[in-house]
Amino acid sequence: MAESTRTGFVGTMTSVVPRIRMPRRLRNLELGLLVFAFAIDVAAEVLVQLGTKGQIDGSLAFYGIALGVLAFGLHITLRFTAPDADPFILPIATVLNGIGIAEIYRIDIHKAASGWDAASVRQIVWTAIAIVCAIVVLVVVRNHRMLQRYTYLSGLLSLVLVFIPLLPVIGTKNESAKVWIQIGPLNFQPGEIAKITLAVFFAGYLVQRRESLAAVGTRFLGVTFPRARDLGPIAVIWLMTLAVILFERDLGTGLLYFGLFLAVIYVATGRTSWALMGVAALVGGAFAVDWLSSVLPKLGYVHGRFENWLHPFSQHQYDSVGGSGQLVQGLFGLAHGGLLGTGLGQGQPYITPVADSDYIVASIGEELGLIGLFAILGLYMIFVARAFRIGFASEDDFGKLLAVGLGFVVALQTFVVIGGITRVIPVTGLTAPFLAAGGSSLVANWVISALLLRLSDTVRNQPRQAS
């Protein structure tokens, strides 16, 4: 399809202007920021050891340097495969990953965990796997437009990834949700990868159907409803979201998928009515799930999450199985940290259940304080802002939607995690991107970073269109 004849959020374009290459000083900026990120990560490990052991031992070389070596390996790969990539994404991912490892290591020290039993050791291994996956993405995906050819394959793969944990042989169940599969000694959550394949599917599908969704259909009460054949895949995604909540007991992932869809379709069509329809569908789905929770006892956990959110300090909620004890302990931890925090290695984050994964933000908030949390939120904001900037600088619709979708996934997941811990919204069970212990989340977020790096390099090297 000719770019010169397209309108919408791309605009009408008539002529080609020269490509924009990244100045050498900006290419060197990433290296400087990466060195700074590495210094922050090493300093965090040093403070953890001094705060817990009173001395620095040889494990610093493993915990503090391993991530730096891996990140610099990715930087070298970028020099050859994507020299004009965004200079901020890799350093931000590195410093967030390193702070997460430092806090996980701090909790492992209290538990006296070592070897494979230590979550920090597994996190380092998963970091290596994740960065290798990011390198593979950069080498294989030489242009993001090639992903558009696999739009429907990505949609099918998303369905497989979402529902494969329900299989009786490989699917496993943790304390509440059935979202894991067993791969040898490792547990993996395929739904984390599904958020990437769904972003590819949404971007490709909406590029093809954008005009039909925006203009063609039946008008009722001032809203244009699309044709059934255009609405079909959208209805499938809505039902898939409900199925994830119902059968896999995973409220957070269902919310993440549906939120991703709403963001991408709003950017694609520019129609506020679509966003309102999506919110209405979300509310309707919530009522449906709540009703089913009252009818089917096995689904009562959804109602329990809301009760924990509304009445966390109730003695009944606090003491009940799956009650609000974890939420309350996390709030107490944040309060204990106050403005400046107790200092790395000097708090008591281990009191909160699963402090190294679901509640790692509360652990970091206790030891780094409100100022430390604001700094981390600032890093997330810059990461998402760079993703949106990459998207809206792209001259092709698919690149726009893909970059915005990937950035929104990180933004929404961060909001849901921190909002749940601070009691802004109910706790959903999602993990903080890059920070929390968990290999599947780490792999998914490093792959997202690699795709954004590829997109940014392609954007800077594309022929610019002038109006």
Look up tokens 């739904």; give the residue: 191
Task: Tell me how far the alpha carbon of residue 82 is from its chain's centroid.
Answer: 23
- Asked if 365 contacts 373 with a C-beta cutoff of 8 angstroms, the reply is yes
What's the rounded Cα separation, in Å, for the pair 49 and 254?
A: 39
- Asked if 69 contacts 97 with a C-beta cutoff of 8 angstroms, the reply is no
What's the rounded Cα separation, in Å, for the pair 384 and 8?
A: 23
pTM check: above 0.85: yes
**10 vs 33: which has the higher pLDDT:** 33
pLDDT digits (tens, 9 = 90+) for 193-245: 989 999 999 899 888 877 666 655 566 556 656 666 666 776 777 677 667 76
pLDDT digits (tens, 9 = 90+) for 313-357: 888 777 776 788 889 999 999 999 999 999 999 999 999 988 998
- Compute the average pLDDT of residues 248-263: 80
Angle at which helices 89-111 and 119-140 cross, to 10°: 160
Q: Residues 6 or more apart from 379 whose CB is under 8 A from it?
A: 92, 95, 96
Strand, coil or helix: what is 446?
Answer: helix
- pLDDT tops 60 at residue 129: yes
Structural domain boundaries in the chain: 3-466
What's the rounded Cα separation, in Å, for the pair 213 and 277?
A: 13
What separation in angstroms does the CA of 272 have from each of 50, 267, 277, 410, 465? 53, 10, 9, 22, 28
pLDDT digits (tens, 9 = 90+) for 413-439: 999 999 999 998 888 878 899 999 988
What's the rounded Cα separation, in Å, for the pair 253 and 163?
A: 12
Confidence of residue 372 (pLDDT cuts 50, 70, 90): very high
**322 vs 145: which has the higher pLDDT:** 145
**Average pLDDT score, the chain:** 82
Rg (CA), the chain: 23
